[in-house]
Amino acid sequence: MQTVKLSNGVEMPILGFGVFQIPEDQSEKAVLDAIQTGYRLIDTASAYANERAVGNAIRKSIVPREELFITTKLWVQDMGYEKAKAAFQKSLDKLQLEYLDLYLIHQPFGDVFGAWRAMQELYQEGKIRAIGVANFQPDRMMDLISNSGFTPAINQIETHPFHQQIDSQRFLEANSVQIQSWGPFAEGKNNIFENEILAAIGKIHQKTVAQVILRWLTQRGVVVIPKSVRKERMVENFDIFDFELSADQMQTIQTLDTNASLFFDHRNPDIVKWISGMKLSD
């Protein structure tokens, strides 16, 4: 598996498996299937309500723990120093792990600095191999870097052919932050799987639209975490390292960029209020 090296030297698979929107009663089998397929990066979150099922799959897998890269995330209601410490331990217990490979602040709201201080301590104690954030716009990222003195290893943001985050990636790279994509397939919006440009490129390489998208992202150095509950799709998504897109093909895909989210704007006050009010089930 191809890897990226984070700013602290930790190596992370460039292709992983995400479990967002996979119900808990399906998550254990899905993660076991993903690991059997060859995935080693597994991405979950306390907000997904399936950490326990993910942990069961990890425990049942025959793959040694040190070969896996496990990510989970801290939700808004758990922001702040003390609450972040407690939420981390709760996630660790559900996952049935002794350490995490990556822990992310899920949203840029609430007591970010208190939570970040707690995460730094957990990192320094060896309980987390790397810490980072998700959904941080460049201004929020620079605020955190400048005023905490500790740069996140990762920023996980919406990144797909219709919202390519080219300027954001350039900014993150300049500040030694690895970009990671959520929603690489835009959750099927804009008929992405029938897109003529992507389909035509796929036909040239005898690959599916999904494979073209994942190859395009990984060639850009973007870490991706596609999800599926169907093993044949997991296998398909994993099979992207035996072809390469040309510079012209990469440029053609760039023409699809709308430079706007297909989901929500984290700077919209109504969205901030909505996300901040979301309560997690235990």
Cα dist. 227→44, 54, 238 in Å? 11, 13, 11
- Distance, in Å, from the CA atom of 9 to the CA atom of 4, rounded to the nearest integer, reads 9
Give catalytic status of residue 123 as yes or no. no
> In angstroms, rounded to a whole number, what is the distance separating the alpha carbons of residues 99 and 92?
7
Nearest to 275 by CA among 73, 94, 121: 73
Residue 99: phi, psi to the nearest 5? -155, 160
Chain centre distance of CA 96:
21
Q: Tell me how far apart the alpha carbons of residues 7 and 2 are, in angstroms, rounded to a whole number.
A: 17
User: Given CA atoms 116, 122, 124, 126 in this order, what sign does their dihedral have?
Assistant: negative
Q: What are φ and ψ of residue 181, in 5° steps?
A: -95, 135
SS3 71: strand
Which residues face 163 on adjacent strands? 160
Quickly tell me which residue has 């600095």 as its tokens.
113
31 DSSP β-pair partners: none
Q: Which of 48, 81, 99, 123 is catalytic?
A: 48
Q: What are phi and psi of 12, to 5 degrees?
A: -130, 135
Was 106 annotated as part of a binding site? yes
Positions marked catalytic: 48
Q: Provide the annotated binding site.
A: 106
Q: Provide the annotated binding site for substrate.
A: 106
